[in-house]
Structure 1
Amino acid sequence: MRRILSVLVLGLAIFTFAFSSPALAGDAASGAKVFSANCAACHAGGKNLVQADKNLGKPALEKYGMYSAEAIITQVTKGKNAMPAFAGRLTATQIEDVAAYVLSEADKDWK
């Protein structure tokens, strides 16, 4: 009986983790609106008007260790170098949405 219960609990745990959505799954459509209003001045079309080599294209994001929602969320929240921090200006949900949008567009080469 104890073994059956253990197998059931393990099966439930595997099922839960296998079919649950990622914790940082933002809404790319909402992120597009937030990006347009807050980020496009420097990053229109995935470019970077301040430092051209650090653009939002997939190759550059991968090169600089930024090709993940977590990395983008940290960068947008805290800022770094010429990039201002958006904590306090944008909500956590808006920042997650922007990260989802940036990754989505990077995967499409911003087309």
Structure 2
Amino acid sequence: MRKILSVLLLSLVIFTFAFNRPAWAVDSVKGAKVFSANCASCHAGGKNLVQANKNLKKDALEKYGMYSQEAITAQVTNGKNAMPAFKGRLKSEQIEDVVAYVLEQADKDWK
């Protein structure tokens, strides 16, 4: 019984560290700076100057299936339609930071 419990506990620890990114790796303060320098010209205050209905407000992100770290990361990295790809311009850490900032601001309704 003790051996089984040890194996289960070890499996849980390995799974936790192997598949979860540490929370301290993302920095929304740095993300705000990246956003200001690269995104604010089109998305100031969570707006969208190109397509007004596809803004960065929480309800619009949810409506268009973009209210997740994965979806926003893909959009920023690869671009889509009028939005350029930032893959070659920003490091992956910068993209992660800006995604954290966008989600944080969406939750605050960009106030």
TM-score, normalised by the number of residues in structure 2: 0.88
Query: Any idea what SS the aligned residue of 1:8 has?
Result: helix
Equivalent in the alignment of 1:103: 103
Equivalent in the alignment of 2:28: 28
Task: Tell me how large the CA RMSD over aligned residues is.
Answer: 2.2
Q: How much has 1:46 moved relative to structure 2? A: 0.2
Structure 1: 5+ residue stretches without partners: none
Q: How much has 1:8 moved relative to structure 2? A: 1.4
Of 4, 7, 16, which residue of structure 1 is paired with 2:5?
7
* CA distance, structure 2, for counterparts of residue 101 and residue 24 of structure 1: 16
Q: Is the 8 A contact 1:28 1:97 kept in 2?
A: yes
Structure 2: 5+ residue stretches without partners: none
* CA distance, structure 1, for counterparts of residue 15 and residue 108 of structure 2: 28
Runs of 4+ in 1 over 4 A off after TM superposition: 15-22
The one-letter amino acid of 1:68's match is: S
Query: Any idea what SS the aligned residue of 2:37 has?
Result: helix
The one-letter amino acid of 2:9's match is: G
Q: How much has 1:20 moved relative to structure 2? A: 9.2
Change in CA separation of 1:24 and 1:94 when aligned onto 2, cut-off 3 Å: farther
What is the identity percentage for the equivalent residue pairs of Structure 1 and Structure 2?
67
How many residues are aligned here? 109
